[in-house]
Amino acid sequence: MVAGASTPGPYPRVQLVLLLLCTGVVFWAAHVYSALVGELLPRRPLTWSAVRRLCAHEWPIAQAAVAPAAAVGISPLLGLGLAGTAWLALGVAVAQQAVWAGAGGIRAGASRRVVVSVGAVNLALGLVLVAAKVAIQH
Protein backbone atom coordinates (compact mmCIF):
# COMPACT_ATOMS: atom_id res chain seq x y z
CA MET A 1 0.00 0.00 0.00
CA VAL A 2 2.71 2.45 1.01
CA ALA A 3 4.88 1.48 -1.94
CA GLY A 4 2.38 2.71 -4.50
CA ALA A 5 0.72 5.55 -2.61
CA SER A 6 0.96 9.07 -3.83
CA THR A 7 -0.45 11.68 -1.54
CA PRO A 8 -1.21 14.90 -3.37
CA GLY A 9 -3.26 17.44 -1.52
CA PRO A 10 -2.96 19.97 1.26
CA TYR A 11 -2.34 17.42 4.04
CA PRO A 12 -0.42 14.52 2.50
CA ARG A 13 0.65 12.93 5.79
CA VAL A 14 -2.87 12.98 7.18
CA GLN A 15 -4.14 11.55 3.91
CA LEU A 16 -1.55 8.75 4.02
CA VAL A 17 -2.37 7.92 7.65
CA LEU A 18 -6.08 7.74 6.82
CA LEU A 19 -5.39 5.72 3.69
CA LEU A 20 -3.31 3.21 5.66
CA LEU A 21 -5.85 2.84 8.46
CA CYS A 22 -8.84 2.61 6.11
CA THR A 23 -7.05 0.06 3.95
CA GLY A 24 -6.31 -2.03 7.06
CA VAL A 25 -9.99 -1.98 8.04
CA VAL A 26 -11.10 -2.86 4.50
CA PHE A 27 -8.69 -5.82 4.35
CA TRP A 28 -9.94 -6.93 7.78
CA ALA A 29 -13.56 -6.74 6.63
CA ALA A 30 -12.72 -8.68 3.47
CA HIS A 31 -11.07 -11.43 5.51
CA VAL A 32 -14.01 -11.59 7.89
CA TYR A 33 -16.47 -11.78 5.02
CA SER A 34 -14.55 -14.46 3.14
CA ALA A 35 -14.21 -16.55 6.30
CA LEU A 36 -17.92 -16.17 7.03
CA VAL A 37 -18.96 -17.20 3.55
CA GLY A 38 -16.26 -19.78 2.94
CA GLU A 39 -15.83 -21.44 6.32
CA LEU A 40 -18.60 -20.73 8.82
CA LEU A 41 -21.77 -20.69 6.73
CA PRO A 42 -21.22 -24.08 5.06
CA ARG A 43 -20.55 -25.79 8.42
CA ARG A 44 -23.16 -24.42 10.82
CA PRO A 45 -25.82 -21.76 11.32
CA LEU A 46 -24.34 -18.32 11.82
CA THR A 47 -24.55 -16.77 15.29
CA TRP A 48 -23.53 -13.33 16.51
CA SER A 49 -21.11 -15.01 18.88
CA ALA A 50 -19.35 -16.76 16.00
CA VAL A 51 -19.22 -13.51 14.01
CA ARG A 52 -17.72 -11.62 16.98
CA ARG A 53 -15.11 -14.35 17.52
CA LEU A 54 -14.18 -14.26 13.85
CA CYS A 55 -13.98 -10.45 13.85
CA ALA A 56 -11.67 -10.57 16.87
CA HIS A 57 -9.58 -13.35 15.33
CA GLU A 58 -9.03 -11.35 12.13
CA TRP A 59 -8.48 -7.99 13.88
CA PRO A 60 -4.65 -8.19 13.68
CA ILE A 61 -5.04 -7.55 9.94
CA ALA A 62 -6.44 -4.09 10.72
CA GLN A 63 -3.90 -3.57 13.49
CA ALA A 64 -1.05 -4.14 11.04
CA ALA A 65 -1.76 -0.71 9.55
CA VAL A 66 -1.21 1.07 12.86
CA ALA A 67 2.61 0.93 13.00
CA PRO A 68 3.16 2.29 9.46
CA ALA A 69 0.50 4.95 10.11
CA ALA A 70 2.25 5.90 13.36
CA ALA A 71 5.54 6.14 11.46
CA VAL A 72 3.89 8.59 9.07
CA GLY A 73 2.52 10.52 12.03
CA ILE A 74 5.90 10.95 13.71
CA SER A 75 7.85 11.58 10.50
CA PRO A 76 7.78 15.39 10.88
CA LEU A 77 9.42 15.00 14.30
CA LEU A 78 12.23 13.15 12.55
CA GLY A 79 12.63 15.93 9.99
CA LEU A 80 11.53 13.75 7.09
CA GLY A 81 10.04 15.07 3.89
CA LEU A 82 7.24 13.28 2.10
CA ALA A 83 9.55 10.88 0.27
CA GLY A 84 11.37 10.01 3.49
CA THR A 85 8.03 9.55 5.22
CA ALA A 86 6.91 7.02 2.62
CA TRP A 87 10.19 5.14 2.95
CA LEU A 88 9.93 5.11 6.74
CA ALA A 89 6.38 3.74 6.61
CA LEU A 90 7.41 1.11 4.07
CA GLY A 91 10.40 0.09 6.18
CA VAL A 92 8.21 -0.24 9.27
CA ALA A 93 5.68 -2.33 7.33
CA VAL A 94 8.37 -4.66 5.95
CA ALA A 95 10.06 -5.07 9.34
CA GLN A 96 6.69 -5.71 10.98
CA GLN A 97 5.87 -8.34 8.37
CA ALA A 98 9.08 -10.26 9.07
CA VAL A 99 8.77 -9.97 12.86
CA TRP A 100 5.14 -11.09 12.96
CA ALA A 101 5.91 -14.02 10.68
CA GLY A 102 8.65 -15.12 13.06
CA ALA A 103 6.36 -14.59 16.05
CA GLY A 104 3.73 -16.75 14.37
CA GLY A 105 6.28 -19.49 13.91
CA ILE A 106 7.29 -19.28 17.57
CA ARG A 107 3.65 -19.39 18.67
CA ALA A 108 3.09 -22.44 16.50
CA GLY A 109 5.99 -24.18 18.22
CA ALA A 110 8.24 -24.26 15.16
CA SER A 111 11.93 -24.93 15.46
CA ARG A 112 14.36 -22.00 15.53
CA ARG A 113 15.41 -22.87 12.00
CA VAL A 114 11.81 -22.70 10.73
CA VAL A 115 11.16 -19.45 12.61
CA VAL A 116 14.23 -17.82 11.07
CA SER A 117 13.31 -19.18 7.64
CA VAL A 118 9.75 -17.88 7.84
CA GLY A 119 10.99 -14.47 8.96
CA ALA A 120 13.57 -14.40 6.17
CA VAL A 121 11.05 -15.37 3.49
CA ASN A 122 8.66 -12.65 4.67
CA LEU A 123 11.51 -10.13 4.73
CA ALA A 124 12.42 -11.15 1.17
CA LEU A 125 8.82 -10.69 0.05
CA GLY A 126 8.80 -7.24 1.64
CA LEU A 127 12.05 -6.37 -0.09
CA VAL A 128 10.43 -7.30 -3.41
CA LEU A 129 7.96 -4.48 -2.68
CA VAL A 130 10.86 -2.15 -1.91
CA ALA A 131 12.48 -3.12 -5.22
CA ALA A 132 9.19 -2.48 -7.02
CA LYS A 133 8.96 0.97 -5.43
CA VAL A 134 12.51 1.77 -6.52
CA ALA A 135 11.83 0.53 -10.05
CA ILE A 136 8.61 2.53 -10.34
CA GLN A 137 10.26 5.74 -9.15
CA HIS A 138 13.08 5.52 -11.71
pLDDT value for 21: 95
pLDDT value for 59: 96
User: What is the C-alpha separation between 125 and 92, in angstroms, rounded?
Assistant: 14
pLDDT value for 89: 94
pLDDT value for 129: 87
pLDDT value for 138: 59
Low-confidence ranges of the chain (pLDDT < 50): 3
pLDDT value for 122: 94
Residues with Cβ < 8 Å from 16, sequence gap 6 or more?
2, 5, 7, 69, 72, 85, 86, 89
